[in-house]
Amino acid sequence: MSPLAADLRTMLDRARRVAVFTGAGISTESGIPDFRSPGGMWARMAPIDFRDFVRSEEMRREAWRRRFAQDPVMRAAEPNRGHRAVAALVRQGKAHSVITQNIDGLHQASGVPDRQVIELHGNTTYAACLDCGERYEIDAIRATFEKDETPPVCAKCEGLVKTATISFGQAMPEGPMLRAEAETRAADLFLVLGSSLVVYPAAGFPAMAKRNGAALVIVNREPTPLDEIADLVIHGQIGDVLGGTVGVN
Ligand code: NAD
Ligand code: ZN
């Protein structure tokens, strides 16, 4: 174990309650590209703003085309060593829940109970009506969309149907935000895994933890703007670093 990983092991051992906070970086080892790494999704296309989605049928069509183009990658993705290490921390009772910016459902797939995953940006593995909240499955939407590319509307209220994710410009989900805040305040160790920490308000949680007296640990391939306030920073692959530290393969 490297000296930094040994430091992390000691901090985990001493911690009473760990808040795990994950970003797209924990899922790259599962084959899902992140946004901001070189070659990530943003290098290829700008995200569609919520206002544009609501305003323009053409934008909705484009959003759904992109979602379906992503589908093979999303479906093939399985939890990796990093997800398994996080699930182990939850199972051991070290971590109570996982606050995630990810929309891929891989924490749940790795065995963290649904109620212990706090999704700040929603979930792309299903869709919902923006007005009444009715849930829709991606496959069913796709079957209809492929006929003439008409973007889906709700069968109950004719509201717009969108993947159950939070887009730029869309309000943050109240329940998950409150739970994430409570989890952050309850923690004495806040562990960031694979986030560039530039997307707010999500990126506000590590600083909140720090102000609240928790230790802050960041495991990320590249530097982040919060490295300077962290108690421990490890620039490495999450699977290796956390898998090795927690003893999970
Ligand atoms: P980001 O793309 O801004 O940053 C990811 C960070 O993870 C980068 O700094 C990168 O260096 C690091 N990283 C990548 N692979 C790593 C690895 N194997 N080990 C260690 N570090 C690694 O991601 P973000 O901060 O989560 O913000 C992007 C937003 O886009 C999120 O809010 C999320 O909603 C969405 N998104 C989600 C997914 C997903 O669900 N898997 C994928 C892409 C984007
Ligand atoms: Zn509806």
For 97, the 3-state DSSP assignment is: strand
- pLDDT, tens digit, 9 for 90 and up, residues 150-190: 999 999 999 999 999 999 999 999 999 999 999 999 999 99
Whether the CB of 103 sits within 6 Å of ligand 1: yes
- Write down the architecture of domain 1-32+78-121+172-249 according to CATH: 3-Layer(aba) Sandwich (3.40)
- Separation of alpha carbons 242 and 88, rounded Å: 11
Given this model, what pLDDT does residue 43 score? 60
- Separation of alpha carbons 175 and 106, rounded Å: 20
Q: Residues of CATH 3.40.50.1220 domain(s) within the chain?
A: 1-32+78-121+172-249
Mean of pLDDT over the chain: 95
Given this model, what pLDDT does residue 95 score? 98
Q: In what order do the strands lie in the sheet with 95-100?
A: 117-119, 95-100, 18-22, 189-193, 215-219, 232-234
Task: Provide mean pLDDT across the span 97-125.
Answer: 97
Taking the CA of residue 22 as reference, the ligand 1 atom at the shortest distance is: 26
Axis-axis angle for helices 3-14, 238-246 (nearest 10): 50
Which residues are annotated as catalytic? 121
The full length of the chain comes to: 249
Whether the CB of 116 sits within 6 Å of ligand 1: no
Q: Residues of CATH 3.30.1600.10 domain(s) within the chain?
A: 33-76+122-165
Whether the CB of 234 sits within 6 Å of ligand 1: no
Q: How far is the CA of 158 from the centre of ligand 1 (A)?
A: 34
- Separation of alpha carbons 125 and 117, rounded Å: 15
According to DSSP, the β-strands at 95-100 and 122-129 are unpaired
Residue among 165, 221, 175, 162 nearest 197 (CA): 221
Given this model, what pLDDT does residue 5 score? 94
For 170, the 3-state DSSP assignment is: coil
Q: Model's pTM, two decimal places?
A: 0.95
Task: Among 28, 35, 83, 218, say which to mutate for ligand 1: greatest number of ligand atoms within 8 Å of CB.
Answer: 35
CA angle 126, 128, 133 (to 5 degrees): 140
Q: How far is the CA of 132 from the centre of ligand 1 (A)?
A: 30
Taking the CA of residue 23 as reference, the ligand 1 atom at the shortest distance is: 26
- Separation of alpha carbons 136 and 67, rounded Å: 14
For 141, the 3-state DSSP assignment is: helix
Q: Which two tokens stand for residue 248?
A: 């999970």
The CATH homologous superfamily for domain 33-76+122-165 is: SIR2/SIRT2 'Small Domain' (3.30.1600.10)
Task: Provide mean pLDDT across the span 53-77.
Answer: 96
Task: Provide mean pLDDT across the span 107-134.
Answer: 97
